Structure 1
Amino acid sequence: MSTRRVVVVGYGMAGARLAEEIRRRDRGGDRVAVTVVGAEVHPAYNRVLLSAVVAGAMSPDSVRLHGSDWAAEHAVDLRLGVSVRAIDRAARCVTLSDESTVDYEALVLATGSRAWVPPTEGLRGDGGALAPGVVTFRDLDDCAAIVAAARPGAPVAVLGGGLLGLEAARGLAGRGNLVTVVHPVGHLMERQLDPAGGGVLARTLGALGMEFRLGRTAARYVPGDGLKLDDGSHVPADLVVVSAGVRAETGLAASAGLAVDSGVIVDDALRTSDSRVHAIGDCAQHPDTVAGLVQPAWEQAEVLADLLTGTNPAARYRGTPVVTRLKARDVDLAALGDVHAEVDSADAEVLCLQDPVRGRYAKLVIREDRVVGAIVLGLPDAAATITQLYDAKTPVPTDRLALLLGRALPSAGVVAHSPADLPASAVVCRCNSVTKGQLVTAWRSGAVTVPDLATATRATTGCGGCAEAVRGIADWLTRA
């Protein structure tokens, strides 16, 4: 049987995971020869944890997904520090920035996304480069630049009150910087939160030393001085961190004549308009996917690995029900599904609980006795229970208030208080779709520590939000 040549463009979280999944199915490389092209000089790393690097809680080395010898050990032709300059679809060949060429039978675009910089006067200098004192928050080099520039006690402005902007802001506040977040919408994280939830989050983060200018945009940046806002007010800033959103990297696909919209358009087999070219991760546009999150990218990588290795020719990607978690120290926030339903909605049961003084907010949206949306801030037990109900699509307990407070009864089949109460099918690590049953099996096979369980199952290696749950299960198994 001939070996199929697969070229993966991009060595971020999606591209790295695809290469791993291909090798899991084809360990010796007999069926698939893999070449991965990465524009960055670093081995693959977990972008989800970059805010912890900014905060100083994790080192750059600790967020690496692969060691320097990973490619050689897994028979992967890894090209670092080079990019793909052109795709010749007729010849099935890519030309790299170092003038070398690589032939392919299947090409996978995992080019990710780039930080969007708003057209604010002064943010860019001559030639389009970022002005002195302005840094985006997107990759490991950005983290190094932020840490180098953000001396303790210095004022820092963060442009963007979305998920990444708040994670960067919290990390900087934890380093002792005076952080002001400028956000054009009237409440934080408007994609994932309603106004009430955004208000409680702002109050919670404010108590941790952050300030907010909501409903405002930056009109001008002056290096060494700060930002002038659209209402004439001033935000002092020695450093401006731009986290105002991302745009899919589609330039390579567009120049090759592939169909592109806000991303590279793909079908359920993750094929582009050329059946020999696929796309996954942030650069791909699938009708049932939310861009910018790791879980969809990794599920796409599993489907595509099945297809490229012939392991499961019927594999298809049908979308991912996403749970968004804010990875900020001292803040526990989860948002999922339809969060914008109104309390007086005619087609849904909507319950809200607000306790802003204690930093707690819960909103639950139920249709046909199933969870279809939720915002849970400051109530980790409730977040775990509601997420399990959402994943399993099981009926909601009749005592809705107990559910919002994280006190659902064992008869509901979803209790977060004790690992013993969790069913084996309960998903513990959403990023990697790892269930309690899989963790128990790995533990019984000798993976008795959290690092061992991470190696055996990949739990905790995504956003890291399940680390405490995995540790709890390991402790419970040890005691039992």
Structure 2
Amino acid sequence: MTSNTRVVVIGSGLAGARLARRLGELGTPALLVGEEEHRPYNRVLLAEVLAGRYEPDVIALPGLTAPAEPLRARVTGIDREARTVRCADGSVIPYGTLVLATGSNPVLPPLRGLFTPAGHELPEGVHAFRTMDDCLGLSKAVRPSARAVVIGGGLLGVSAARALAVRGAQVVLAQQSERLMERQLDPAASRLVGRHLKDLGVEVHTECRVRGVRVVAGAVRSVELADGYALDADLVVLACGVRPRVGLARAAGLAVGEGVLVDDELRTSDPHIHAIGDCAQHDGTLYGLATPALDQADILAGLLTGSSTARYSGTRSLTRLTLAGRAPSGLAPFDLAAFGETHPRPGDDVVQLADATRGTYRKVVVRDDRLVGGVLVGELGTVGALARAWEGAEPLPADGPLLHLLTHDGGS
């Protein structure tokens, strides 16, 4: 393929790899440029690698064929006029169409003592949890009875805490807000997640603000809380959210909000440059989830090859988490799913079923005869039927199907 028609994709994560594979299948091979040394992998499953349930190669993404096999390079700049990208090794790559799939970086909170005197490296024992290297480094460091503090009680923090507990660590989870996974779950579901973690031996602290880390001889020794209490720590995991990687886009003069701004064709302010995945902001929304990233990759592949005229109008995302792998206590895997609006508005209808003995909880929210959201914790047999009813956004039958949807195993 000549350089003036070549599609270059920066970023070999879930979105970039999916786009490169789809383009290849549609007869338009792309050059995929990625920084990581590992084969493209499913970042969603990193906690399963940490828990010891999967080997790293198990979560590798489907193979790409040359020339879509990733080029290992770090892109340092974009020359929009010349339509080239510059790499750290001095090489220059021409493009006809450029796609930014640069993903996101973990948020490193401004904690006292967090960085080394040089200001660039985390102290020994302090780990972000975003990449395969992060996961492998943490997996190598954890050992039975190690004292681990996880900072952040969102989806990533809960997954990391569970995985470390399964590995035999003594885990404390510190969450600044009043409950776990507050973005995805309602209070009842959050309590069940907390109960599950506590059954594993995880010590959960909500409304808990971390002030700093104490480092001795370059290694972390404790985590200091705002109330003056200190948590002894051999390991600290930072799970404080992510931030879109927009440095390349901003330096190139593209329109940037929180993410790289894109239209319904996933096109940036430069018609020759598109953006997908965690780094893209569409119609004011940053998704940061796997399903929208895959949807965007599929739609853009169709647009770039002319095989489809479908535009991107947003993704109705279902968050599903399996806290799997058997723990020393013999607890079975713990499943949860959340979709749409889990917090009802005044006038909404809500149906809930809870079984405290089995630790299961199901809830759906209905507005104007349409299913607008739901939460399931424990047994997920009905998630397939509920998700289909939600995604269809069609009026529900008038004969009261909600209880049937909550109790009938519609397939997952």
Equivalenced residue count is: 396
CA contact (8 A) 2:255 2:261 kept: yes
Are positions 1:22 and 2:23 aligned together?
yes
Tell me, what secondary structure is at the counterpart of 1:260?
coil
Cα deviation per residue 1:109-153 (whole Å; 9 max; x = unaligned)? Answer: 000000011111122111221111100000100011101111111
Q: Residue type of the partner of 2:360?
A: R
- The offset of 1:357, in angstroms, is 4.5
What is the SS of the residue equivalent to 1:209? coil
Q: Is the 8 A contact 1:156 1:239 kept in 2?
A: yes
In 2, Cα distance between equivalents of 1:170 and 1:213:
15
Counterpart Cα distance in 2 of 1:381 and 1:264: 38
Q: Distance in 2 between matches of 1:141 and 1:77?
A: 20
Q: What residue is the counterpart of 1:284 in the other structure?
A: 280
Q: Please tell me whether residue 398 in structure 1 is matched to residue 390 in structure 2.
A: no
> After the TM superposition, which residues 224-235 of structure 1 pair with which residues of structure 2 at under 5 Å, given as runs?
224-235=220-231
| 2:299 counterpart residue number | 303
Paired AA for residue 15 in structure 1: G
For 2:338, the equivalent position in structure 1 comes to: 335
1:382-441 Cα shifts (integer Å, max 9, x gaps): 33332222123342661533433x23xxxxxxx526xxxxxxxxxxxxxxxxxxxxxxxx
Q: How far apart in 2 are the matches of 1:120 and 1:54?
A: 25
Q: Distance in 2 between matches of 1:326 and 1:33?
A: 33
2-side partners of 1:258 and 1:144: how far apart?
35
Question: Offset of 1:107 from its aligned partner?
Answer: 0.5
Measure, in 2, the Cα distance between the counterparts of 1:205 and 1:359: 12
> Where does residue 275 of structure 1 map in the other structure?
271
Asked if 1 retains the 8 angstrom alpha-carbon contact of 2:351 and 2:365, the reply is yes
Amino acid paired to 1:218: V
Residue 156 of structure 1 aligns to a residue whose secondary structure is strand
Is residue 46 of structure 1 aligned with residue 38 of structure 2? Answer: no
**Deviation at 1:34?**
1.8
Residue 289 of structure 1 and its aligned partner are, at CA, apart by 4.8
Query: Is residue 416 of structure 1 aligned with residue 410 of structure 2?
Result: yes
Q: Which of 1 and 2 has higher RCO (CA within 8 Å, sep 6+)?
A: 2
Q: Secondary structure at the match of 2:90?
A: coil
- Superposed counterparts of 1:66-145, under 5 Å: 66-67=62-63, 70-72=64-66, 75-76=67-68, 78-80=70-72, 82-128=73-119, 129-145=121-137
Q: CA shift at 1:271, angstroms? A: 0.3
Contact 2:21/2:68 (CA < 8 Å) preserved in 1?
A: no
Partner of 2:178: 186
Contact 1:323 1:337 in 2 (8 A): yes
Change (3 A) 1:288 1:402: farther
Counterpart in the other structure of 2:198: 206
Per-residue deviation, residues 48-95 of structure 1 (Å, max 9, x unmatched):
11001000000011111145xx443xx336311x11111000111111
Off by >4 Å, runs of 4+ in structure 1? none
Given the two structures, how large is their TM-score scaled by the length of structure 2? 0.92
CA change 1:401–1:233 in 2 (3 A) is farther
2-structure distance, mates of 1:78, 1:351: 48
**Letter of the structure 2 residue corresponding to residue 367 of structure 1:** R
Amino acid corresponding to residue 240 of structure 1 in structure 2? V
Comparing 144-153 and 108-117, the one that deviates more: 144-153
**Unmatched segments (≥5 aa) in structure 1:** 27-31, 408-414, 418-468, 470-480
For the residues of structure 1 that align with 2:296 and 2:261, how far apart are their CA atoms?
A: 14
Q: Distance in 2 between matches of 1:138 and 1:357?
A: 35
- Equivalent residue for 1:376? 376
> SS of the counterpart of 1:240?
strand
**After superposition, what is the alpha-carbon deviation per residue over 1:290-340, rounded to whole angstroms, capped at 9, x for unaligned?**
52211111111111111111212x221111101111231221111111112
Give me the whole-angstrom Cα distance separating, in 1, the residues matched to 2:97 and 2:385.
42
The one-letter code matched in structure 2 to 1:98 is D
Residue 207 (structure 1) shift:
1.2
For 2:15, the aligned partner's letter is: A
Q: Which residue of 2 aligns with 1:457?
A: none
Is the 8 Å Cα contact of residues 20 and 29 (structure 2) preserved in structure 1? no
1:288 Cα offset (Å): 6.9
Shift of 1:198: 1.1
What does residue 210 of structure 2 align with?
Answer: 218
Q: Identify the residue that residue 247 of structure 1 maps to in structure 2.
A: 243
Question: Under a length normalisation based on structure 1, what TM-score does the superposition of the two structures give?
Answer: 0.79
Q: For 2:236 and 2:289, locate their aligned partners in 1 and report how far apart those are by CA, in whole Å.
A: 24
Instruction: In structure 2, give the amino acid aligned to 1:340.
Output: H
Separation in structure 1 between the aligned mates of residue 284 and residue 163 of structure 2, nearest angstrom: 32
Bigger mean CA deviation after superposition, 100-109 or 355-364: 355-364
Contact 1:288 1:320 in 2 (8 A): no
Distance 1:203 1:151 in 2: 24
Q: For the residues of structure 1 that align with 2:69 and 2:290, how far apart are their CA atoms?
A: 24
Q: Distance in 1 between matches of 2:185 and 2:29?
A: 44
Query: For 1:135-188, what per-residue CA distance to the aligned partner results, in whole angstroms no more than 9, with x for missing partners?
Result: 000010001110111111111111111001111111111111111111100000
AA in 2 matched with 1:109 = L
Q: In structure 1, what is the Cα distance between the partners aligned to 2:365 and 2:321?
A: 20
Give, in whole Å, the separation in 2 of the partners of 1:380 and 1:77: 37
Q: Is the 8 A contact 1:116 1:245 kept in 2?
A: yes
User: Is contact 1:290-1:296 (8 Å) kept?
Assistant: no
Whether the 8 Å contact between 2:150 and 2:157 is mirrored in structure 1 is yes
Aligned to 2:53: 57
CA distance in 2, matches of 1:65, 1:217: 37
- Distance in 1 separating the partners of 2:188 and 2:70: 48
Structure 2 unaligned regions, length at least 5 = 325-332
Find out whether 1:366 has 2:366 as its counterpart.
yes
In the alignment, the residues of structure 2 paired with residue 107 and residue 290 of structure 1 have an alpha-carbon distance, to the nearest angstrom, of: 20
Q: Does structure 2 retain, via aligned residues, the 8 Å contact 1:335–1:375?
A: yes
Secondary structure of 1:165's counterpart equals helix
Partner of residue 316, structure 1: 311
Per-residue CA deviation, residues 359-386 of structure 1 (Å, 9 max, x unaligned), is 2222210012221011111131233332
Looking at structure 2, the residues matched to 250 and 199 of structure 1 have their Cα atoms a distance apart, in angstroms, of 36
Alpha-carbon distance between aligned partners in 2 of 1:52 and 1:144, rounded to the nearest angstrom: 12
Could you say which residue in structure 2 is the equivalent of 1:438? none
Q: Over the residues paired in the alignment, what is the CA RMSD in angstroms?
A: 1.9
